Every structure is written in C-alpha cells, then in structure tokens.
Amino acid sequence: MNSFILNHIRPFLITISVIISLLLSTLTFAESTVSVTENKVNQAPTFNLPGVDNTRVNLADYRGKVVLVDFWASWCTPCIRSFPWMDKMIAKYGEQGFEIIAINMDQESILATKFLQRYPNKLTIAFDPQGVVAEQYEIMGLPNSFILNRKGEIVYKHVGFRLVELDKYEAEILSLLPQDSE
C-alpha cells in the first residue's frame, strides 16, 4: 500500500516542484533585472498589430512622439504593478507628445481581456500572441520596455519593472520631451 501511494504521489510532487521553481525563477528574473541604457541608438523595429475593438496599432503612426513600447502578459506580476504607473505617465505627459503602446504576449486572448477588465487603463493596447514583434525587439523577459525618441529610435531599454527606479524611468521620458522655454 505504501509503495503504491508513493509511486503515484511522487510524480505529482515532482511536477508541482518543477512548476513552482519555474514560477519563482520567472518572478525573480523579472524583479532582479535592471534598466539598461545603451550608448548605441537603434531604429525601433516597425509593427502593425491588432489592437482593442478590431483596431490596428501601427508604430509608424506614432512618429514624432516619444513612445514607450511595453511587452507584458496577464500572468506577469511586475506587469500588474507597471500598469498604474504607465497610466499615470500618460495622464501626466500625454499632452506633451508621450504615448505608450502596451503589447500583450498572451497566446489566449481571453487572459488579456480579463486582465484589462481588472486593470482599466488609457494605454494603447496591441496583441502579439505569436511573439513575432517580441522576437524583433529581442525581449529578454516580461515586462520589457523600450523608450523611443521622436525619430523612432530606441534610446532606453528596461527588462523588468522596479518600483525603486520609477524616478529614473520618468526622468528618461522627460529627457526626450520638449522642455518649456519660459
């Protein structure tokens, strides 16, 4: 009897251990990464993705604006924390030419829909369930964001979302927006 139970429970416990380890390593990676400022400015890969309510999100339409392109998924804990901050940045700097395109990576659209219902926002939402655009941007974890200047060049890149770096993120955005000449 004991060996019967052991033989049936052991695979279950191993499976649970592997799942927990994967989840913890994903969360640890997303939390422990830091922002990276690259000295080399690169043109951002263009995209034309499906958006909310049968719209299209075309990066070319945002030329002339400072754009934060953010890759996220419904299961990503740091992504949940980043949404209120991104929404606040749009409210604060949107009139100065700042935009955010939040690209969802969920393969099942219902997961993204539920997330967006739970966390309402004013962001431009696009969907990349196959990861084609994510591959072009060479994302290394979620969330992964890129701040583009008005020419569409990647100026700043961040892997993860760290609450202790919010002032730095905002300063990067401000550095690309027009300054008052008064």
Integer Cα distance of 145 and 71 in angstroms: 6
Contact 42, 69 (CB under 8 A): no
Integer Cα distance of 43 and 84 in angstroms: 28
Predicted pLDDT of residue 134: 98
HEC sequence for the chain: CHHHHHHHHHHHHHHHHHHHHHHHHHHHHHHHCCEECCCCCEECCCCEEEEHHHCEEEHHHHCCCEEEEEEECCCCHHHHHHHHHHHHHHHHHHHHCEEEEEEECCCCHHHHHHHHHHCCCCCEEEECCCCHHHHHCCCCCCCEEEEECCCCEEEEEEECCCHHHHHHHHHHHHHHCCCCCC
Token output for 164 = 């202790």
The values of phi and psi at residue 49, to 5°, are: -115, 160
Contact 158, 133 (CB under 8 A): no
Predicted pLDDT of residue 177: 96
Integer Cα distance of 66 and 116 in angstroms: 24
Please state the separation of Cα 15 from the chain's center in Å. 29
Q: What's the average pLDDT block by block, 10 residues per block, for the chain (182 residues)? A: 52 43 41 43 94 96 98 96 97 97 96 96 97 96 97 97 96 91 45
Integer Cα distance of 139 and 95 in angstroms: 29
